[in-house]
Amino acid sequence: MHGEPWQGWMTASLHDHLGVRATGHVHSIFRQSFNIDVDGLLLNVGQHRQRLSPLGMALDPTEFGPLWETVAIGDLVRWSARKLAIYPSRGTPVVIPWERTATVDHAVPYGAMNPEILAGFAESIQALSLDTKIGLTWDADLQRVVGQLRRADADESERQSAFRWLLGRGKGLTPSGDDIVAGYAFLLWMFGIAVIDARLRDEARQRTTATSATLLHMLSFGETGQALFDVWRAANEGSLQNLDHSLKRVLEIGHTSGADTVFGIGLGVERLLGAGNRPKAGGGE
C-alpha cells in the first residue's frame, strides 16, 4: 500500500498526554480526518498541517487518502515510543514511525501576557455582536451563568456551578457550552489563571463528548489548535489589527463553535476588566 517513508506532523506534547505505550481503536471517521481513542483521549489524524488538532497528527494528503479509505470504526491501533501502528480492517497494517514526524508546538505560555492588550480584545469582540450568534438560547439560566463568569467578584463556587451547567450543553461534536468554557479558559490562562483543573477534566469525560473532553484536557495545559494559537500570537505581539483578524478567523469555525469560543473569550476579558481586578502579567489568582 505504501512504499515511501511516512511523513507528517504531530502535536509536540503528544507523548506527554498519551504515554509511551498504549492500545486504542479508531473512534470516529470524518471526510478529512479520523479519531483514534487512546485511553479516553482522542488523537485526531488529518491531512492539513494548518488544521492540526490540539492533540493531533497531520499526514501528507497523498499518504492520508489511501489510509482513510481502509480504516473503519473499531480498528485496532497500537502506540509505542517508536511508532504508531494502525490495523485497518480493509487493508494491510500501516506503521508510522515517529522519527519521520515533525513536531508542532501550539503551547500558550502561562501568565505571560501584557494586560494592556485586554482593551483590544474588548473592542474587537464587542464589534462582533456575538449575543445573536452563539448556539445557546438566551434564557434566565444562561443569563445567570454568564453573570457568574463575567463578574470579577464572583466566588469560586459560583464559577464551578457555571462550568457544570455549561458542560455538554448544546449540539454537535463540541457543544456550545463546552466551547464557551474553552474560550474562557484560554483567555484566562494567558493571564495566569487556570480554570480547568483535574476535577473539571474528569467531569468533562462524564458529561460531554469525547472530542470536547479532549480539547478541554489539552487546554488545561495551555495546548491549543492553530486558530487559538494565532490569537495568542497576535495578542503577544500587541498587534490590534492581527488580533482582530485572528478572532474573526476563529469565528469561522463550525456552525456556532467559533462564535461560542470567542464569546467565552469575551467573558474572560470582562472578568479581568472588572472593577479593581486588572491583571498583572505573570500573575495568578
Question: How is residue 71 written as a grid cell?
Answer: 480504516
Looking at the whole model, is its pTM more than 0.85?
A: yes
Position 29: which residue type?
I
Question: How is residue 217 written as a grid cell?
Answer: 484536557
Quick check: 3 pLDDT over 70? no
Percent of the chain with pLDDT over 70: 94
Q: Which residues pair with 76 in a beta bridge?
A: 25, 87
Rounded distance between C-alpha atoms, residue 46 and residue 54, angstroms: 12
247, 125 contact by CB (below 8 A): yes
Per-residue model confidence as pLDDT tens digits over 57-72: 999 888 899 999 999 9
Q: How far is CA 10 from the centre of its chain?
A: 15
Per-residue model confidence as pLDDT tens digits over 134-157: 999 999 999 999 999 999 888 889
Contacts (Cβ under 8 Å, ≥6 apart) of 221: 13, 17, 107
Produce one character per residue of 37-71: b if its CB has 16 or more CB atoms within 10 Å, e if not. Answer: bbeebbbbbbbeeebbbbbbbbbeeebbeebbebb
pLDDT class of 234 with cuts at 50, 70, 90: very high
Per-residue model confidence as pLDDT tens digits over 264-275: 999 999 999 983
Per-residue model confidence as pLDDT tens digits over 101-123: 899 999 999 999 999 999 999 99
- The pLDDT value recorded for residue 284 is 39
Q: Tally Cβ neighbours within 10 Å of residue 181.
A: 30
Question: How is residue 187 written as a grid cell?
Answer: 483567555
DSSP 8: E
Q: Using DSSP bridges, classify how beta strands 83-87 and 33-38 pair: parallel, antiparallel or unpaired.
A: unpaired
- Comparing 47-56, 162-171, 237-246, the range with the smallest average pLDDT is 47-56
The mean of the pLDDT values for the chain is 91
93, 32 contact by CB (below 8 A): no
Phi-psi region at 51: left, alpha or beta (left = phi > 0; alpha = psi -120 to 50)? alpha
Per-residue model confidence as pLDDT tens digits over 9-49: 999 999 899 988 999 999 999 999 999 999 999 999 999 77
- The pLDDT value recorded for residue 280 is 41
Rounded distance between C-alpha atoms, residue 35 and residue 71, angstroms: 11
Position 21: which residue type?
R
